[in-house]
């Protein structure tokens, strides 16, 4: 594994699984943004939970990508009518992966479903379907790279410090949302209707989740976020 000692940290990315077509898939934007920020992406397919504790030694950080709904079983709830397609085996794998990485102080970044999964893995709960509750349209009809609503970045948060601003225009492709925030996590951004748009752990070397998709937005704020994540991974490699 000597090839991974070049100063570019190896970043694991969780991926989606399509049972019907027997394939794994991930939008290319995730890998591209990590590479542009100075990392080397490594795709992590759903594995057995026991594999979470034996990740390759060169792995320095984990990015939890988007995808389907998180099974309510994992946060002590029953399926509601608005629940979408779930992959309980993927959930179990990613929950184990988060807990293993968290215990090692490994940098973690969750995007959309990934933020929700972070919250569940650390003891929080989710709203199963905000589409029926009178919130803003959080699953936009605009192109993926186009912002659809603004979020307020809360003051004195790590995220606000990274992005250097108090408000941000974001894209949005979700119908589930954080409900009870996991112990140790704090809100870092809110949408105008009160939906939690970002979470962070200020005591962890780098643990952050955002509800939008920065890998698809063509703005400086997304660059700053990925660079901060890769910077934390590089620090972990020292």
Catalytic residues, by residue number, are 112, 213, 215
Q: Residues 133, 84: contact at Cβ < 8 Å?
A: no
- CA dihedral over 209, 84, 68, 103, signed as positive or negative: positive
- CA triple 181-190-64, angle to 5 deg: 60
Residue with tokens 């989710």: 126
Judging by beta carbons within 10 Å of its beta carbon (0-12, 13-18, 19+), is residue 237 exposed, middle or buried? Answer: middle
The CA distance from 130 to 82, in Å, is 9
- What are the φ and ψ backbone dihedral angles of 199, each rounded to 5 degrees? -130, 155
The CA distance from 29 to 51, in Å, is 26
């Amino acid at each position: 594994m000597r090839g991974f000692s070049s100063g570019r940290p190896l970043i694991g990315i969780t991926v989606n699984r399509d049972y019907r077509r027997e394939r794994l898939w991930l939008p290319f934007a995730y890998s591209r943004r990590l590479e542009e920020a100075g990392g080397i992406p490594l795709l992590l397919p759903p594995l057995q939970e026991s594999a979470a504790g034996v990740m390759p030694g060169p792995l320095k950080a984990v990015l939890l990508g988007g995808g389907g709904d998180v099974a309510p079983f994992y946060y002590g709830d029953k399926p509601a009518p608005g629940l979408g397609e779930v992959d309980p085996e993927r959930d179990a794998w990613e929950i184990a992966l988060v807990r293993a990485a968290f215990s090692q102080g490994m940098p973690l970044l969750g995007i959309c479903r990934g933020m929700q999964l972070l919250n569940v893995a650390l003891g929080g709960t989710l709203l199963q379907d905000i589409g029926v509750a009178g919130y803003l349209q959080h699953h936009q009809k605009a192109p993926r790279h186009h912002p659809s609503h603004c979020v307020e970045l809360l003051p004195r948060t790590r995220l606000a410090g990274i992005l250097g601003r108090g408000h941000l225009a974001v894209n949005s492709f979700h119908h589930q949302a954080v409900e009870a925030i996991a112990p140790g996590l704090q809100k870092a951004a809110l949408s105008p209707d009160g939906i939690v748009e970002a979470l962070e752990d200020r005591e962890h070397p780098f643990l952050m989740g955002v509800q939008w998709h920065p890998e698809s937005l063509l703005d400086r704020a997304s660059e700053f976020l990925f660079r901060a994540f890769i910077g934390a991974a590089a620090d972990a490699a020292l």
